Amino acid sequence: MSEALAEFGADLTDPDERRGGTGTARFLLGKLGGAVGSLFFVVVLGFLLFRMIPGDPVATMTREKPFDPGQMAQLRERFGVDKPLFRQFLDYLGGIVRGDLGSSYAYNRPVADLIAERFWPTVFLVGTATVLAIVLGLWLGVRAAWRRDSAFDRMHTGISLTLWSVPQFWLGLLLLIATQGLFPSGGMRSPDTPPGFFPEVLDVAHHLVLPCVTLLAVLYAQYMLVMRSSLLGEMNAEYLTTARAKGLRDDLVRRRHAVPNALLPTVTLIFLQFGLVVSGTVTVEAVFSWPGLGYLTYQALRVPDLPLLQGVFVVLAGSVIVMNLIAEVLYRVLDPRVRAR
């Protein structure tokens, strides 16, 4: 009997379960291909948005401003919109490949230069705020979920829900009024800072406080809520009963089993939703005149400077897609469950 069992029992593995952790190269290629496709789509979207709707970009740019037909014709030639649409698209595409995003109408400078100048301040602000928000949000989320329905949980869920309902720019304005004069109201540096490393660092940090706190407040609230519900979902898992049955202390059950398993999808979700962070930056930078891409967008909107808007759109959307790619690849490396799918 046992030989027969061994013979027919050997291949009883469900085909779905036998798929192992291979196919990483396939996965990477697929994701990379998808990201490249998305980037191309962003580029096309940028072109279509700013050329097709609702016809003449020059007319949109010059709306409510006195321009005579001669000036308009000159502008059309300068932006190349007098050529056929397909030709325009090829020019635009070729430009992007060369790193040329056209020329700004308001600043009279290449869009690429303007963006390059403003890129790092945004990265600095977003990076600082995101890191702080993740640390704070995850820590509070874990504590709230583990002591569900405690006073701590109720208070922090309430605060987070309220912060989640606050328009970021309004929070920024409130902070400006509330701290009247305590922090600089705009910009990244003061013109009168004495030269030297420490005074300059201190000056930037001083400018950073308000925009960073504004961005942080809304972001951490969201992260806390995600972490909380993710951990609550994980806490019903049966393997936690196994861990308890093995004789683990409650805090070990939490630290070793529940939190890591809930953490991985949460962090990934945070990075997959990087678009929200970028959206937030636009208004916060506008309020505090932080010299980044968001403030640049705000300034471009005042004119309106369409080539500049188009360039910023492509760069912001493109960086979100790149962030996403990184998040998905990292998730697969870190979480064995994903490799199973």
Interface positions, 183-242, toward other proteins (CB under 8 A): 185, 229, 232-233, 237-239, 241-242
Does residue 54 belong to the site contacting other proteins (CB under 8 A)?
Answer: yes
286 near other proteins, rule: CB under 8 A: yes
Per CB under 8 A, does 147 bind other proteins?
no
Strand partners, 18: none
User: Applying CB under 8 A, does 336 fall inside the site for other proteins?
Assistant: yes
Q: Which region among 15-23, 117-125, 133-141, 207-215 touches other proteins (by CB under 8 A)?
A: 15-23
Which residue number, 200 or 229, has a Cβ lying nearer to other proteins? Answer: 229
**Residue 212 corresponds to which tokens in the numbers above?**
């960073």
The residue among 28, 263, 225 whose CA lies nearest residue 144 is 225
Q: What span, in angstroms and rounded, lies between the C-alpha atoms of 113 and 101?
A: 9
Q: Could you count the other beta carbons within 10 Å of the beta carbon of residue 207?
A: 24
Residue for token digits 């977003």?
126
Contact call for residues 320 and 278 (beta carbons, < 8 A): yes
Tell me the CA distances in angstroms from 287 to 98, 173, 222, 294, 299, one per residue in order: 33, 7, 21, 10, 11
- Closest CB to other proteins among residues 137, 331: 331
Asked if 169 is part of the footprint of other proteins (rule: CB under 8 A), the reply reads yes
Using the minimum distance from each CB to other proteins, give the nearer residue, 78 or 148.
148
Smallest distance from other proteins to CB 4, Å: 4
Helix (H, G, I), strand (E, B) or coil at 132: helix
Distance from C-alpha of 217 to C-alpha of 167, rounded to nearest angstrom:
11
Q: Residue 173 contacts by C-beta under 8 Å, 6 or more apart in sequence?
A: 287
Contact call for residue 15 and other proteins (CB under 8 A): yes
320 binds other proteins (CB under 8 A): yes
Q: Say whether residue 130 binds other proteins (CB under 8 A).
A: no
CB of 247 to other proteins, least distance (A): 4
Nearest to 221 by CA among 143, 137, 279: 137
Task: Kindly indicate which of the ranges 82-90, 92-100, 102-110, 156-164 contains the residues binding other proteins, using the contact rule CB under 8 A.
Answer: 156-164
Site string for other proteins, 248-267 (x = CB under 8 A): xx-------x--xx--x---
Range in contact with other proteins (rule: CB under 8 A) among 103-111, 114-122, 188-196, 333-341: 333-341
Q: Residue 173 Cβ, how far from other proteins at the closest point, in Å?
A: 5
Query: Does 284 help bind other proteins (rule: CB under 8 A)?
Result: no
Q: Are 280 and 219 in contact (CB under 8 A)?
A: yes
